[in-house]
Amino acid sequence: MSYLNFLRETAERAGNVTCMGLDPVLDYLPARLGYRIDEIIPNFFEKLFDEMSNRYLKPAAFKPNQGYYLKHDVPLQGDFSGSLALSKTIKLCREYFPHIPVIMDYKRGDIATSSSNYAKEGFERWVADAVTISPYMGSDSVIPFLEYSTKGQGTYILNRTSNAGGKDFQNLLLQDGSTLYEAVGKKIIEWSQKYPGTGAVVGATSVSELKVLAEQYAPYDIPLLIPGVGSQGGSALQVMNALKKAKYDVKLARINSSSGLTHPWKKSSHIPENWATVCADALEALIVDCKI
């Protein structure tokens, strides 16, 4: 199955286009989940997935950010507990929510031979349904990832990101008066013609820019990964409205929230006893806003 059809099918099954970011922060996790990293993190998600399953809450994608896991590895001491935690977390996603996309957020991008290695890591070793990459080094850096479209896997290219510093480069004006992110958008469309499933990362924090890009992408079936909802200030309802006004196929979008779903109490000094319920409540609210 192509990645485009996979996105459409899973959105229809879930009834929404919610993407659940899986970015664990130890300081915000409840106690008594284990002693090792590869116990604590998977145990947290297993209890949360239990709660979600009991309430029939199903997002339309999961997005673990690799950095939240691999930072716990201490390779020179033979400690790969972070990698094990990520492996177990992905397996839990597959077990509890089969046939739901897992997007590996690792934002790679290097010279062609190195990109080939990173693509193999993401698509073949982690068996991700999609990955995120940077376009900064151009076509020879990007294409090794896009070539996996023939195997039904997708690639999201950083386009107009949700972080405050994104404007430092992405909004730079080019000689023709367009912005750098608009030029990247044109290349994404060009690449998508040969490699269907080529997508774009466009943040929820600037709805006007999102709407312009969605209008450009709509005729070409460009999947959108839209972070920035929740703690970064983006609104899922505004995003959904912008996509619909742009006549964009919302089934190809995935609207992501991470910390707002996995530790919504982070601004408080108190982790609630019913933390799994609190997380599930936050997810349910996002799913309602992202209904198709």
Give pLDDT tens digits for 17-48. 999 999 999 999 998 899 999 999 999 999 99
List for the chain the helix, strand, coil content (%; round to 5): 50, 15, 30
Structure tokens at 229: 């909802």
For the chain, the domain total comes to 1
* DSSP β-ladder status, 224-226 and 198-202: parallel
In this prediction, residue 182 carries a pLDDT of: 93
Residues 192/195/197/202 CA torsion (nearest 10 deg): -40
Q: Which amino acid is residue 292, in one-letter code?
A: I
Catalytic positions are: 107
* CATH code of the domain containing 187: 3.20.20.70
C-alpha 104/C-alpha 131 separation (Å) is: 5
What is the spatial distance between Cα 193 and Cα 213, in angstroms, rounded to a whole number? 17
pLDDT mean across residues, the chain: 95
Q: Which residue has the higher pLDDT, 146 or 164?
A: 146
pLDDT of residue 233: 67
Task: Please name which of 126, 164, 159 lies closest in space to residue 142, comparing C-alpha atoms.
Answer: 159
Strands 130-133 and 224-226: unpaired
Range of the domain at 21: 3-289
Residue 278 has pLDDT above 90, yes or no: yes
| Calculated CA dihedral for residues 134, 162, 128, 194, nearest 10 degrees | -50
What per-residue confidence (pLDDT) applies to 21?
98
Q: Contact, 192 vs 202, CB < 8 A?
A: no
Tens digit of each residue's pLDDT (9 = 90 or more) over 230-263:
766 679 999 999 999 999 999 999 999 999 999 9
pLDDT value, residue 164: 84
CA distance 189 to 253: 16
Does position 166 have pLDDT exceeding 90, yes or no?
Answer: no
Task: Say whether pLDDT at 225 is over 80.
Answer: yes
Give me the phi and psi of 66, to 5 degrees please: -55, -35
Q: Which residue bears the tokens 């199903």?
A: 58
In the predicted model, what is the mean pLDDT of residues 222-229?
95
> In this structure, are residues 204 and 225 in contact, taking their beta carbons and an 8 Å threshold?
no
H-helix or E-strand containing 225? strand 224-226
Q: Say whether pLDDT at 98 is over 80.
A: yes
Residue 208: CA atoms inside 13 Å, Cβ hemisphere, count? 0
pLDDT for res 106: 97
Span 43-59, pLDDT tens digits = 999 999 999 999 999 99
Dump pLDDT digits (tens) for 103-134: 999 999 999 999 999 999 999 999 999 999 99
Comparing 156-170, 201-215, 222-236, 241-255, the range with the smallest average pLDDT is 222-236
Angle between helices 139-146 and 180-194 (to 10 degrees): 40
- Measure the N-to-C terminal CA separation of the chain; round to a whole number of Å: 22
Phi then psi for residue 102, to 5 deg, are: -110, 115
Tokens of 31: 């106690």
